[in-house]
Amino acid sequence: MDDRLAALSLKIDEIMSTGPIGRWTNPPTTFPMMQEMVVFNADGSGLITSWSGMSGTTKQAFEWSIECPGRMVLRYGKWENDLASDGDEEPDDENEDTSEISVTMDIEIKIKETEFGPWPVMTTRSSDEFQFGFLLCALARADPPLVLPSRPPVVRPKRTLLSRIRDVVARRL
């Protein structure tokens, strides 16, 4: 684990064991023309909302559970697209795919460097990239927020006049 995450170790342990309950979204300014938000509800339900300037808004409901600490099972349903047709066409229920996709993934909390500084994000462990599952980015918890504590300023001990004089004298010898 990254040393910078040590202050968040209790929250990270909770996320790994009970699940990432809350609202998660892209880290700040990852993709300015795209946003992905994932809500993990305490009852095991969830919703992925993706928005992009090119494709509009899509939503997908899912169910989630924690199999063991750090291993999450997601069961996806069908995507809903807000850019639906004009309403002239009726949906073809006979050809509609209602199958679910079940995915098991190992998750972890890493630090992603952003334009605003380091940010703790949830990623899929097997990925070298900063992404979560099928999404194009890692997820930062927005509600309740998960942020790195600011580092305390480095305090140098005050030196006495005598120790400074010794240094000056030692340099001249």
The pLDDT, as a whole number, for residue 154 is 60
pLDDT along the chain (173 residues), means of 10: 81 94 86 85 95 87 95 82 50 55 92 86 82 85 86 68 81 75
**pTM more than 0.75:** no
Q: Is the peptide bond before 149 cis (omega within 30 degrees of 0)?
A: no
| Per-residue b or e along 60-75, where b marks 16 or more CB atoms closer than 10 Å to that residue's CB | bebbbebeeebebebe
H-run or E-run covering 49: strand 45-52
The pLDDT, as a whole number, for residue 89 is 47
The pLDDT, as a whole number, for residue 78 is 65
The pLDDT, as a whole number, for residue 66 is 97
Are 140 and 30 within 8 A, CB to CB? no
What is the Cα–Cα distance from 133 to 106, expressed in whole angstroms? 10
Pick from 107, 96, 97: nearest CA to 74: 107
Tokens of 31: 């993709």
What is the Cα–Cα distance from 87 to 96, expressed in whole angstroms? 17
What is the Cα–Cα distance from 52 to 38, expressed in whole angstroms? 15
